[in-house]
Every structure is written in C-alpha cells, then in structure tokens.
Amino acid sequence: MCKPVPRNKSKCTQGGGLCVMINTIYSPYISFIESIADTFVWLKFDKVLFDFDQDLYVCGAYIPPINSKYHTLYECDIFRLMEDNIISYSSKGKICLVGDLNCRTSNASDFIEDDSVHITLQNQLPNLFNYSNDHSLSTRINPDTISNDYGSKLIKLCKSTGLRILNGRHKDGLSNDYTYCGPKSFSVIDYFLTTVDLFSTIDKFIISSFTQFSDHASLHLEIKIKNVNFTDELITDCEPDYGVERKTFKWRDEYKSQCKETLANNIDNLNSLCENLNFESQDGIDKTVSDFSEFLNGIMSPYFKVRPKVSTSRKKQDRIMPVIEDKPWFNDEFIFCNVITLIFPMLKEPV
C-alpha cells in the first residue's frame, strides 16, 4: 500500500495512493514485493498459475500530475525510477504494469518502427549481429488525440524496456475508450502495459463505463490461468455470524446540511487522522481503518443510523431439515383414496 500525497491547494486535500486487494483463494500464489516512493507497488504472481515458466511481476502505478506537490516532496525522476524497476524485474520474470500514469500519448508508436538490420549486412557479418528487431504492432485506437510531456516519456520508456500499451489494441475492441473525465474534456491516462508475448494471455481488457463515484473509468482485465486446485481450507471468513448486531445507515436529505456542518466542526480530528496514517504493517493498516471508521460512525450516527439488525436466520442451504416419519395409517391405500377424492369431489361412496 502507498500513502496519498498532498495536492497543491491545501495540505488537507490529498490525492493518489495505491491499495491492493487480493482474493483469499489466490493469496498463497501472490506475494507483495515492495512499494517505492509511494508511487509503485510490485507484486509477484507465482508461475504455477500460468502456462509460462517464469513468475509474473505486476506493478500497480500512480504517477502524480506534472504540477503535483509530489515532485517537491520526492526528489526523483519518476520515469527513470520506473524504467530502472522494470529492467530489474524483467531479469526475474514476466512484466505487467497497470495504473493511472497521467500520460497522454495520442497515437504515437510505442515501438521502434523499421527496426531491422539490413539483410546484406547480416549476410556479410553473420557473427557480429545478434539482434532481435522490434515487433511491428497495429496502430492503437486512441480517442484521445492530444499528447503531453509525460506521454512522450512513456513512449520512450516503452521503446527502451519492451513494454507495449494494450489500450486500443485488444482483440475485442472494448479497450478503445477514454479513461478519465476531467472538468474540461475526456482523456486517456490509465494504461495497461506488458510485453508482446503476453498479449495472448489477456482474455479480456475492458475500459468500463464511468460512474458517479469516480472521474476515472476502471480497467477490467482477465488473464488466463491454469486449473489450479484451490483448497477449501483457504476460505475461512465465510462462516455466517448469527446473532451479530449489524450497524445500518440510511441517507436522509433533510440532515445533509447538518452533517456537513458537523464534519466541518471536526475537521481538526480528521486532519489528525490523516497525519497519523500507518501503512507500515498489517496492524497499522487495521488500526488506521478502525480509527477512520470510528470517526465516521461518530459523525454519521446521529443523523443516519437506523435500528440495528441482528442476523438470526440461516440460509436455506445451511438449514438442517428434520426427518419426519409417516404415521402408521399413512400408507399407499390412504394416499390413493385421497387422490381420488380430490379428483372427484362429488364422489360420495368410498372406493
């Protein structure tokens, strides 16, 4: 996990940050490697999941905008740092990179065009050249026709590291869309990069629709994996918790202004929480989340908390149905007589 950094306008307003969530079933095969400069998070996916013979190293990245205060807090060339990381992990296995890079690349080629040694020179000096030329790829379908300085740096990084942009190239055509909705226009600044040999392992790459919760469209990726036997022992948190009181909240517009006023009055407490974030350990993360939840609960409860519910019922599939034995008189003859009576209700004489 990487902590957020202050924006320009106010120290209280923060942006960025990275958080990784892993399904419990896959956790034995995915390990956290490191976080770097609160910008990159590296994960290792065990090769047992895939059909290739190397581990897969995935980088979740967030590159702050050019005018962000981040660049004064962290004195580093972020693209040089990213390039060094990619080269380092490329020597260990396969590489993927995904995230909000704030790069606008238009339709610039992310590979070296006409990259080949002339056949005459190869024939004359066959032992001198051991060079693998760059793969020529199709033009990316990018609705964003504008480029920026970060975009040029990303293109150079692709050419130097061998990573290629999958946006606008996936076979289904569902990755050919904008990823960011800004105050002035739409743009493409969120990317998925990998090497050409891994293109075929990406089953789906979809740029999802925008929602009211974010100005970014989420990137949906599905990667081919082998049929690994995931044991049921790994699923430990799915047991029903009967009798546990659940706090529930319901939004009420009539209390909106009062809630905002209460939040404003407690801004110092919120700032204190933000200044004491602890992401160095699992215990620190748990305490941070707990403190923040407790703070929000204290603010919201007077206005939106409703009567707590206690779960007492079991799901149908979890219920143990009792075995009911038939009475001695409930035999085949009795069943036959009742069926006849239902079919012929006017029948008076017994059959």
Q: What is the pTM of this model?
A: 0.64
Token pair, residue 60, equals 């979740």
CATH architecture of 5-234: 4-Layer Sandwich (3.60)
**Residue 282 pLDDT more than 70?**
yes
Model confidence pLDDT, tens digit, residues 31-43: 999 999 889 999 9
Model confidence pLDDT, tens digit, residues 264-281: 899 898 888 888 888 777
Strand segments (E) across the chain:
5-6, 14-15, 30-36, 40-45, 56-62, 94-100, 164-165, 180-181, 186-187, 190-194, 202-207, 219-223, 245-249, 305-310
Q: Where in the chain is CATH 3.60.10?
A: 5-234
Sign of CA dihedral 288, 291, 295, 297: positive
Antiparallel, parallel or unpaired: β 245-249 and 305-310: antiparallel
Model confidence pLDDT, tens digit, residues 41-87: 999 999 999 988 999 999 999 999 888 888 778 888 999 999 999 99
Model confidence pLDDT, tens digit, residues 167-211: 999 888 889 999 999 998 999 999 999 999 999 999 999 999 999
Task: Give me the helix-helix angle, 282-304 and 256-265, nearest 10°.
Answer: 140
